[in-house]
A = this chain, B = another copy of it.
Amino acid sequence: MLHIVNKSPGERATLDSCLAHVRPGHSVLLIEDAVYAATKGHAAAAKIQAALATAKVFVLAADLEARARAGAVIDGVVQVDYKGFVELVTQNPRVQSWL
């Protein structure tokens, strides 16, 4: 299952809601303002780190670059482009957007 989060953890609670429903083997994709969650020194980075123990975490490179944070991604999080986003959707039998 693929979970998509699009809002900043500094603004909304959607990352927390998402992570509370991620099961082992699931994938999480951070897009739009949610990409900040996966950056070094961010208060939310520890939550992403914890999620990495059982799940895969991806982040959309285009949104990182727009926000000048591509160089600050924490270890273990994988950057993907839009085609990678499409692949994640096809590889996972179901998709939940945490809006």
Contacts and interface: CB of A to CB of B under 8 A. Distances in A.
A41 interface: no
Contacts of A12: 11-13
A10 interface: yes
Interface residues of A, number: 4
Q: How many subunits of this chain does the assembly comprise? A: 2
Contacts of A10: 13
A11 to B, nearest CB: 6
Interface in A48-64: none
A32 to B, nearest CB: 16
A12 B10 CA distance: 8
A7 to B, nearest CB: 9
Interface of A: 10-13
Closest 6 CB pairs of A and B: A12-B12, A11-B13, A11-B12, A10-B13, A12-B13, A13-B13
